[in-house]
Structure 1
Amino acid sequence: MSRELAAWRQLVTADASALLEAADKCDARDVHAVARLRRHWSADHVRVALQLTEARRKAATKFPDHASILLADPAGVEQATSLIVAKHKAKRYRAAGASSVIDLCCGIGGDAMGFRFAGLDVLAVDSDPVRAWMAGCNAGCSTAGADVETIDVAEALIHIDPARRTEHGRIFKLRDTEPAPEVVARLLDRAAGGGVKLSPAVNLNELADALPPGEVEFISENGKLVQTVLWTRPLAQAERRATRIAGEAIHSQQGVPARPPSGPLDRYLYTLDPALERSGLIDAVASPHNLTMPHPQLGLLTGPDPITSPWLTPFELLAEMPWQTKKVKRWLTEHNAGIVEVKTRGKAVDPDRTQADLRGKGDQPFTVFVLRRDRKRIALITRRCV
């Protein structure tokens, strides 16, 4: 057993309760406070205890009912799938008739926890024995601290989460993930089917060239795009899917990517859930409501009537004008503006600075879209529809 793993394992013993209580009250940035802890416990034990207490604070959003008992380090929490997303993914394995899954590159066990909640037997595998141990504790499953290529996945359903972060920072290209795409492809070829957790910003052309074909699912959680999943063989159900998770509500849209027809700005504007926009399934939502797209790069739909959809956020369009701060500010002042929300794309403006510049002394809230239409910047002054 490594020294690092031994230090972490000590935290689950009865003797560690006093250390964890003291670590929870300690500011890890205060060298004198840390030194006081080291008078009573070893440097290794103090270090991992401080990591654990910080990780549990970070975990409150992703694991609200389990954060206080989670075994994790801060980076592990940041990289982990939230429990509600993990439960959603686990349903895919259940629907395929699975009774077990091999979770490769398991990290602290976020996805493994979802699989266990679904009643699946899990083997959680990670090249880092500490992370594998954490996953076993958090998910209550079998583990292996091993290179994923040494695991026999023949005829098994697998899940794999290639690392997208190194000691030098975040990885943005699929080819740089670890294990490499060719290793992931070999594992998928040997397995009965699999799910591959990928970056929300994965290049789809690179994905098509590097990994076997399957369904590509984009998942948003509370308005933020959190991951892309490639599903293969029996786990694939469509060509493309967008899934929106907000609280306990889950909405999915599947189909073939298609854009709605173009059209001029109308009375109402709609922003898109990021999973819907990233999936390209925009027309599947727009068409039933006769919505059009004013410009392919603006990320907006428009129509004459207010509609309600979990995929869309509606705004009433009040004015359109070229983007000139003074001109927009004058309009807002004339209409008793108070708090002004600014939305933009492609860094057309600095939203925080512009929001401060436009804020008025009145009591009427407005949302101003500052966008590039072709080479010109425009301002769309709107009011959120309640």
Structure 2
Amino acid sequence: MNKFSDEKVQDFIQKNLKTDLHKLILKGSPFEGITIQEIATQIEGKNKTEKKLPTWYKTKSIIFPPKLNLEQSSSEITAAYKAQLINNGPLLDLTGGFGVDDYYFAHKASAVTYCELNLELSEIVKHNFEKLGIKNISFNVGDSKAVLYQKTKYDTIYVDPSRRAETGRVFLLKDCEPNVVEDQNIYLKNATKVIIKAAPMLDVQAALKDLKNVSEVHVVSVKNECKELLFILEDNKTEEPTIFCVLLNKDHQQIIPFKFSEEKTANPTAKPLLNYLYEPDVAILKAGLFKLLTTKYEVSKIHQHSHLYTSDELVDFPGKSFKVINKFLFDNFNGKQVPKQVNVVCRNFILKPDELKKKFKLKDGGNNFLFFTTNYKEQKIVILAEKT
């Protein structure tokens, strides 16, 4: 482990961050006891963390694991958000991984217990935490259930289960390891709060049927890309959970709470297209917050099922905003009325973007957007718009 911490090795890695790795590997290793493949792994790992994990990227003598471990780790922006959700007392992380979440947990929790089956990965994280100045963390290598059966009381238990097998884009929590559905009673006996992280393709409603005592669900996106789902369980919590749409960006976060019962009973009236058009952030679409947006923001739906919104004046909307340039009935549209280079979007429409691009000889790109959708009169329409 310490062989990568040598100052000469670190200098070599730093100097070769932009070097072609295939050419570098052909030259062989300049260091005794370190293969060029190991060095290449460090270079590749550091490059992958430049934007996702800038703290790790900037800190000297950090050691990086194989790229799969980095790909599976949280980003700093999502880890920092999760740290806002934990309690201040001791925390148990049952699936430590590369330790990004625990780095942020350690800044709030009084103590963190990191559990990881992979000994080599655990040693890498231990080394990195020393370099990062994290001292209130203990390490447990092996099955995290053994720690649970010690019956130590924690303020928070955090678990990020991984899928045991590829089951398609939609999967169930019981398809994961550890099986949080099977183990949730043990978690609740050992902690005041339990946070379960899941991939964004998980079906939220199906998960709520499998989990008990869910108080909150956080649907987290970063720059309009859904990154993770967080289910918070609390002992004796039986009320309907609050759903939080969490929109994260480098400089700010926007959080929109709602409940499924409120969404279900809302009945907004769809209205004609006005000067501005809005497309909700992916976190909002994933969470199923559709009808209530018209009560939270001064916008109207253009159709009950189109999930596109409109307003006369520009609104600070949680998603993409567009200025409407022109609109056409689909039956009258021939493609010649708009630029040939345009971004095609379909919402509640009979054809898909690729079919429409082929039909009207359109090419991707440019600053204009072409929305194919259905309006409040059940007419198929085309909207030409530009981002605000």
TM range (shorter): 0.7 to 0.9
2:362 to 324, 349, 358: 358
For 2:364 and 2:280, the matched residues in 1 are separated by 28
Q: Which residue of 2 aligns with 1:195?
A: 195
Alignment of 1:300-315 (within 5 A): 300-311=308-319, 313-315=321-323
SS of the residue 1:270 aligns to: strand
For 2:228 and 2:236, the matched residues in 1 are separated by 17
Q: Which residue of 1 aligns with 2:372?
A: 370
Q: When the two structures are superposed, what TM-score results if normalisation uses the length of structure 1?
A: 0.80
For 1:273 and 1:109, the matched residues in 2 are separated by 28
Residues paired across the two proteins, number: 363
Q: Which residue of 1 aligns with 2:177?
A: 178
Equivalent position amino acid for 1:71 in 2: I
Alignment of 1:291-306 (within 5 A): 291-306=299-314
2:74 equivalent to 1:81: yes
Shift of 1:248: 2.0
2:344–2:370 Cα contact (<8 Å) kept:
yes
Q: Percent identity?
A: 16
Structure 1 residues 75 and 172, CA gap change in structure 2 (3 angstroms): farther
Q: Which residue of 2 aligns with 1:340?
A: 342
Q: Which residue of 2 aligns with 1:330?
A: 336
SS of the residue 2:98 aligns to: coil
Shift of 1:123: 1.5
Shift of 1:370: 3.1
Q: Which residue of 2 aligns with 1:218?
A: 219
Of residues 303-312 and 20-29 in structure 1, the stretch that sits farther from structure 2 once superposed is 20-29
SS of the residue 2:188 aligns to: helix
Of residues 71-80 and 217-226 in structure 1, the stretch that sits farther from structure 2 once superposed is 71-80
Shift of 1:53: 1.4
Q: Which of the two has greater helix per residue?
A: 1
For 1:171 and 1:134, the matched residues in 2 are separated by 31
Shift of 1:111: 0.6
2:52 to 62, 81, 88: 62
1:260–1:293 Cα contact (<8 Å) kept:
no
Alignment of 1:205-284 (within 5 A): 205-214=205-214, 215-233=216-234, 238-257=241-260, 258=263, 261-267=268-274, 268-284=276-292
1:323–1:370 Cα contact (<8 Å) kept:
no
Structure 1 residues 51 and 287, CA gap change in structure 2 (3 angstroms): same
The CA RMSD measured in Å over matched residues stands at: 3.6
Q: When the two structures are superposed, what TM-score results if normalisation uses the length of structure 2?
A: 0.79
2:308–2:347 Cα contact (<8 Å) kept:
no
For 2:6 and 2:90, the matched residues in 1 are separated by 30
For 1:159 and 1:316, the matched residues in 2 are separated by 45
2:143 equivalent to 1:147: yes
Of residues 264-273 and 242-251 in structure 1, the stretch that sits farther from structure 2 once superposed is 264-273
2:57 equivalent to 1:53: no
Structure 1 residues 46 and 142, CA gap change in structure 2 (3 angstroms): farther
Equivalent position amino acid for 2:280 in 1: L
For 2:111 and 2:356, the matched residues in 1 are separated by 48
Structure 1 residues 207 and 284, CA gap change in structure 2 (3 angstroms): same
Equivalent position amino acid for 1:105 in 2: T
2:219–2:283 Cα contact (<8 Å) kept:
yes
Q: Which runs of 5+ in 2 are unaligned?
A: none
Shift of 1:21: 5.0
For 2:360 and 2:26, the matched residues in 1 are separated by 43
For 2:187 and 2:318, the matched residues in 1 are separated by 34
SS of the residue 1:212 aligns to: coil
Shift of 1:57: 0.8
Q: Which residue of 2 aligns with 1:37?
A: 28
Structure 1 residues 178 and 48, CA gap change in structure 2 (3 angstroms): farther
Structure 1 residues 331 and 290, CA gap change in structure 2 (3 angstroms): same
